Chains A and B, each alone.
Chain A
Amino acid sequence: EVQLVDSGGNLVQPGGSLRLSCAASGFTVSTNYMSWVRQAPGKGLEWVSVIYSGGSTYYADSVKGRFTISRDISKNTVYLQMNSLRGEDTAVYYCARHLDGFDFWGQGTMVTVSS
């Protein structure tokens, strides 16, 4: 059974850092495209970043230079390292498998950036 478990969300001060994790089971992250999507409170979905099966990465302009997506094949886990956090980064962050559309999603983890 395919499952994604998101974790690592927390309250952090502006300018701080946080690392989110997405632990996968039932499939191999290294042979799939994996994305992070976020949703600010009361707002719509915003795509954040993708790591392709070949290892290439892409980012939304809003996070470029501050966020880094990576994966650990041995742990079958995808990460999102978030630095220089701002208030507008406050959101629920979801990881998702990208096959035909984003077919499986994690449950989401809440990141709150506030002093």
Chain B
Amino acid sequence: DIQMTQSPSSLSASVGDRVTITCRASQGISNFLAWYQQKPGKVPKLLIYAASILQSGVPSRFSGSGSGTDFTLTISSLQPEDVATYYCQKDNSAPYTFGQGTKLEIK
């Protein structure tokens, strides 16, 4: 099975910073990659699908890129409400494996 590895596992940044989270697949998955945000005690929320398409209603400061094995989630200007754990997920076929998560905090 394809493994999904995120880095870093945790991240602390200041409000207004540009933040980048990476996700690597152990085999190529084309652009079948989704990103989710999960705030403490809340249900996961879809941010991006097909590696770079922003889900309706998601702020434009979020963007995604990549194809094949290497993917990136970028927050262009970090806001206090972005404190959360972020997960990538392969979306091409079962098993729909998630990355281990990246916990984002404000400095």
Contacts and interface: CB of A to CB of B under 8 A. Distances in A.
Interface stretch (A11-19, A20-28, A75-83, A95-103): A95-103
B50 A100 contact: yes
A63 B84 CA distance: 28
Contacts of A35: 96
B22 interface: no
B96 A44 contact: no
Given A45-B98, A47-B95, A47-B97, A108 B50 contact: no
- Range for the number of chain B residues in contact with chain A: 20 to 34
Contacts of B87: 44-45
A44 B43 contact: no
Interface in A78-95: 94
B100 interface: yes
Contacts of B48: 101
B101 A44 contact: yes
Nearest to B35: A101
A104 B69 CA distance: 26
Interface string A32-49: 000101000000111100
A106 B85 CA distance: 18
Interface in B66-107: 85, 87, 89, 91, 94-101
A112 to B, nearest CB: 17
A101 B89 contact: yes
Most buried by B among A94, A98, A101, A105: A101
A102 B43 contact: no
Given A100-B53, A105-B43, A45 B38 contact: yes
Nearest to A4: B43
A111 to B, nearest CB: 16
B93 to A, nearest CB: 8
Ranked nearest first, the 6 interchain pairs of A and B with the lowest CB-CB distance are: A101-B49, A101-B34, A58-B94, A100-B49, A44-B101, A47-B96
A35 B95 CA distance: 10
Given A45-B89, A101-B89, 12 more contacts: A44-B99, A45-B44, A45-B101, A47-B96, A50-B94, A61-B1, A100-B34, A102-B89, A105-B43, A105-B44, A107-B43, A108-B43
